[in-house]
Amino acid sequence: MDRGLVAAFLFLGGVFMHIPDGFLEAKTWLTTAAVSTGILGYSVMKTKQELNDRQIPKLGVMAAFIFAAQMINFPVVGGTSGHLLGAALATILLGPWSASLVLATVLIIQCLVFQDGGLTALGANILNMAIIGTFVAQVVYRPLSKLLSKLTSRKWPVALASFIASWLSVVVASGAAAVELALSNRIPLEVGLPAMLGVHALIGIGEGVITAAVVLAVWQVGFSPSRLEKGGAYSE
Amino acid sequence: MSRKIWLGLVISLLVAALLSPFASAFPDGLERVAEDYGFLQTATGQEVVNSPIPDYVMPGIQNEGLATAVAGVLGVVITFAGITLLLKLLVKRNKSSA
């Protein structure tokens, strides 16, 4: 394999999707910040409409768990590691609007308190992980789990749909990061995109396994997201 | 708070405290590759904020594993408190939807 491609694999795998300050040019981070602000504003509005104050601790726990899980890097391949993103997990259990707020809060705290992801890149990181990751999970999970549940018993459709939705959410989010890096003239898209998609196709397997396992475990203890949001895993 | 909420919090704290010191390290290839592509210097010294706990390592603690565990536990608490506070401000009390 081309040495540059291998190098890009290692590099982008290490960065994951928490883009640091300095990697994005002003036009890229200003644009992504504006887009993210707009969409998050809408998420806030929808969450205000849908959320009951008794449900707040559930979102708190989801955010706390995603924060903790994102610290745990698992080895992937070739000296690269990855960690849970959690966008699909939050989307499946809480619905997309609450999930995007939960993810954005985690990213803001990681940026400000732990220097994980740059402040100028925060808009891009929120767009990739909290918005695009959540959106992909939502549009994939709901129809897929419905379709699969027609074919077989109730547990496996949820697990399989969780796996596929979370795998795709990670891969698409990483593609968005590659586009932003290309727009900032850091790495050409024809190199960055296959590298990002390739390594995250592997990281996504870990994401899928963890997401499916946690969704099933949460189901086991009787957590009922149907009361949080119509379209959660157990709403039917 | 219900028992399930506490259970979730305890699991999160355990993951942050006990697993984080054993997390796979970022690839050493990072700096070398950024150098290969000639944009390593675009990130060095570019941090806009001075974070109190950079890179999930609590300053002032010699033992690296312990410093990571402490950072993880603090992060879990800050995250839970942060979103709870945010949502308390956003969501009206006892709204009758459920």
Q: What is the pLDDT along chain A (236 residues), one digit of tens a residue?
A: 345 544 444 444 444 568 888 888 999 999 999 999 999 999 999 999 889 888 899 999 999 999 999 988 887 766 677 788 999 999 999 999 999 999 999 999 999 999 888 899 999 999 999 999 999 999 999 999 888 888 877 788 889 999 999 999 999 998 998 899 889 888 888 887 887 788 788 889 989 999 999 999 988 877 654 433 444 444 33
Judge whether A30 is closer than 8 Å to chain B, CB to CB: no
| Structural contact between residues A87 and A130, judged by C-beta atoms closer than 8 angstroms | yes
Distance CA(A150)–CA(A43), nearest Å, equals: 31
Tell me which residue in B15, B43, B95 faces A69 most closely, judged by beta carbons: B15
For residue range B17-57, list pLDDT tens digits in order.
Answer: 999 888 876 542 233 334 455 655 677 677 888 899 998 99
* Closest among A232, A95, A59 to A158, alpha carbons compared: A232
pLDDT at A160: 93
pLDDT at A22: 86
All structural domains of chain B with their residue ranges: 1-23+52-91
Q: Which chain B positions have a beta carbon within 8 Å of A89's beta carbon?
A: none
Judge whether B98 is closer than 8 Å to chain A, CB to CB: yes
* Closest among A185, A20, A75, A111 to B28, alpha carbons compared: A75
Classify B74 as helix, strand or coil: helix
- For chain A, domains (ranges, CATH) are 24-72+82-227 (1.10.1760.20)
The CB-side HSE value for B53 (13 A sphere, CA atoms) comes to 19
Closest chain A CA to residue B28: A79
| Structural contact between residues A223 and A93, judged by C-beta atoms closer than 8 angstroms | yes
Q: Which amino acid is at A5?
A: L
pLDDT at A203: 83
Phi, psi of A108 (to 5 degrees): -65, -45
- Asked if A14's CB is within 8 angstroms of B26's CB, the reply is yes
Q: Which of B1-5, B50-54, B66-70 has the highest mean pLDDT?
A: B66-70
pLDDT at B38: 60
The CB-side HSE value for B56 (13 A sphere, CA atoms) comes to 25
pLDDT at B39: 56
Q: For every residue of chain A, which 3-state class applies, written as one string?
A: CCHHHHHHHHHHHHHCCCCCCCCCCHHHHHHHHHHHHHHHHHHHHHHHHHCCHHHHHHHHHHHHHHHHHHCCCEECCCCCEECCCCHHHHHHHHCHHHHHHHHHHHHHHHHHHHCCCCCCCHHHHHHHHHHHHHHHHHHHHHHHHHHHHHHCCCHHHHHHHHHHHHHHHHHHHHHHHHHHHHHCCCCCHHHHHHHHHHHHHHHHHHHHHHHHHHHHHHHHCCCCHHHCCCCCCCCC
- Asked if B76's CB is within 8 angstroms of A69's CB, the reply is no
The two tokens of residue A151 are: 């074919």
Distance from CA of A8 to the nearest CA of B (A): 7
Distance CA(A65)–CA(B10), nearest Å, equals: 9
pLDDT at B11: 95
Tell me which residue in A48, A64, A109 faces B91 most closely, judged by beta carbons: A48
Share of chain B above pLDDT 90, in %: 47
pLDDT at B93: 62
